[in-house]
Amino acid sequence: MTSLLSGPPAVVAAGVDVFSDALRAQGAAVTDVEWRPPTIGSAEDLTQLALDPRRAAANRAAVERVLAAGSVLTDVLPARDVLGLPDRTLLHSGPPLTWETASGPMRGALMGACLYEGWAETPEDAEALLASGGIALDPCHHHRAVGPMAGVTSPSMWMWCLTDPTDGRQAFSNLNEGLGKVLRMGAYGPEVVERLHWMTRTLGPVLQAAVRSRSADPLDVKAVLAQMLQMGDEGHNRNRAGSLMTLRDLSPAIVEVDAPSSDIAAVLRFIGGNEHFFLNLGMPTAKLAMDAARDVPGSTLVTVLARNGTEFGVQTAGTGDRWFTAPANTPVGLFLGDYGPEDANPDIGDSAIMETYGVGGFCMAAAPAIVRFVGGTVPDALATTERMYQITMTENPAMQVPVLGFRGAPTGIDVVSVARTGWLPQINTGMAGRVAGTGQVGAGLVQPPAACFEQAVAALAEESRTALA
């Protein structure tokens, strides 16, 4: 040990010149290794954004709007009425797509919606109708709506209507069908269509009457989401406590709806039997918050992460409605039954709005039990949340993670931080079967393709140059 300390040092310096130069100036021998952390985007674009004098204030304004947004449940209405959705139009998750570019589960869900609406009698007819261009397709996000997985929403489907009480803005989502063979996972068999009919006939009207009966005291969905993080949910792939609290809060009003007690009991059983029932309330809550930050010039905040099963799409506060898209990755995780990795479709769904808001994968530390569903270990889950603080602008005081000493959720993804660190947002997700009609095959972890952020950096830098010119 003495000889180690008394001899001359042998130095290898990685990346940063300042260290090796200082040693060389003292006469030490230094071996330089050319290395720098992997970054996304060009040095020129990142410098442009770093030096944009608008950026700090714009990001502060944008993320403060995200934190301030609220979300209460104000109504339940058919998509036809609330979105003005015309006949022969279907909404879907993620960025825009066509029948030709749609993946298996997206095609399956579109076909199932045609069967449910009565636009086709058989799956073959539905496929032909869609392939002929007889059905208009449009992203949910273009209608202030969000849909999990395929996100397919047709005019007759009932929608949760959520309102931000601070400014009256609204956001929407369809009703969650449960797990397994369900439309949003690409299944379209008779049991899927029959369940959708029951939801249209019974669930929707009962929920509408119950929600309207508490119009003086609407359900505070943001408060439920906050409480979920205290109860082992992360709000994307674990919604157990949230679904239970929703049932608790709505059940007294449901019971007093003028409907047969067998229908009431069926509604309670349906909600109680679906641990993801809350997801379709959490998503428009996050959508309300992220929409609040739209169109803030100079802000590098991510406002949308969404996938259509073929492409991943990103939007930012500084670039409005423009999509930055690239081929979606395929999740890695745990599989149901005999399914395996080869059965999984690439990443799909608007549900990554939860991570955009700072919960879901960003709050895995609040939900260590989720590793039994999406894979990984408990230390991984804790480390993931710690890592997400490095790519976000602030901590959301309303969304606290108990095990981190009630630290707020890492909130407000900064495109520049993602680009500089090379650390991509961590998303928890369900996995749909690659083949239309399969349904859910598992759940796992996935990240956006870096190419979306490369495009976002370039577009934000271009906007910056133009604005400052």
- By the criterion CB under 8 A, which residues form the site for a second copy? 1-2, 5, 230-233, 240-241, 244-245, 247-249, 251-253, 255-256, 261-262, 264-265, 268-269, 272, 368-369, 371-372, 377-379, 402-406
| Beta carbon of residue 253, minimum distance to a second copy (angstroms, whole number) | 8
Q: For a second copy, give the closer residue by CB, 337 or 405.
A: 405
| Beta carbon of residue 248, minimum distance to a second copy (angstroms, whole number) | 4
Side chain identity at residue 82, one-letter code: V
d(C-alpha 150, C-alpha 109), whole Å: 6
DSSP H or E run through 457: helix 450-468
Q: For a second copy, give the closer residue by CB, 138 or 263.
A: 263
DSSP 8-state class, residue 201: I
| Beta carbon of residue 256, minimum distance to a second copy (angstroms, whole number) | 5
Where are the alpha helices (H) located in 151-203, listed in sequence order? 190-198
Q: Which of 394, 410, 393, 413 is nearest to 456 (CA)?
A: 413
| Beta carbon of residue 252, minimum distance to a second copy (angstroms, whole number) | 5
Please state, in angstroms and as integers, the Cα–Cα distance from residue 416 to each residue in 15, 291, 423, following that order. 20, 20, 11
Q: For a second copy, give the closer residue by CB, 51 or 403.
A: 403
Q: For a second copy, give the closer residue by CB, 368 or 430.
A: 368
Q: For a second copy, give the closer residue by CB, 233 or 347.
A: 233
Q: For a second copy, give the closer residue by CB, 308 or 396.
A: 396
| Beta carbon of residue 244, minimum distance to a second copy (angstroms, whole number) | 4
DSSP 8-state class, residue 81: H
Are 349 and 153 a contacting pair, CB within 8 Å?
no
**Structure tokens of 442?**
């598992």
DSSP assignment of 41-69: S-HHHHHHHHH-TTHHHHHHHHHHHHHH-
Q: For a second copy, give the closer residue by CB, 30 or 378.
A: 378
Q: Which of 289, 321, 290 is nearest to 459 (CA)?
A: 321
3-state DSSP assignment of residue 426: coil
Q: Which of 357, 337, 364 is nearest to 428 (CA)?
A: 364
DSSP H or E run through 303: strand 302-308
Q: For a second copy, give the closer residue by CB, 16 or 265.
A: 265
| Beta carbon of residue 29, minimum distance to a second copy (angstroms, whole number) | 25
| Beta carbon of residue 232, minimum distance to a second copy (angstroms, whole number) | 4
d(C-alpha 430, C-alpha 331), whole Å: 8
DSSP assignment of 105-135: HHHHHHHHHHHHHTS-SSHHHHHHHHHTT-S
| Beta carbon of residue 368, minimum distance to a second copy (angstroms, whole number) | 4
| Beta carbon of residue 158, minimum distance to a second copy (angstroms, whole number) | 21
Burial class of residue 80 in the structure, from the number of CB atoms within 10 Å of its CB (0-12 exposed, 13-18 middle, 19+ buried)? middle
| Beta carbon of residue 34, minimum distance to a second copy (angstroms, whole number) | 36
Where are the alpha helices (H) located in 292-366, listed in sequence order? 353-357
Q: For a second copy, give the closer residue by CB, 111 or 247.
A: 247
| Beta carbon of residue 407, minimum distance to a second copy (angstroms, whole number) | 10
| Beta carbon of residue 191, minimum distance to a second copy (angstroms, whole number) | 21
User: For 320, left (φ over 0), alpha (ψ -120 to 50), or beta?
Assistant: left
Are 419 and 333 a contacting pair, CB within 8 Å?
no
Are 297 and 317 a contacting pair, CB within 8 Å?
no
Are 322 and 315 a contacting pair, CB within 8 Å?
yes
Q: For a second copy, give the closer residue by CB, 326 or 370.
A: 370
d(C-alpha 109, C-alpha 117), whole Å: 12
Are 312 and 328 a contacting pair, CB within 8 Å?
yes
Q: For a second copy, give the closer residue by CB, 152 or 244.
A: 244
Q: For a second copy, give the closer residue by CB, 146 or 401.
A: 401
Backbone φ and ψ of 276, nearest 5°: -105, 10
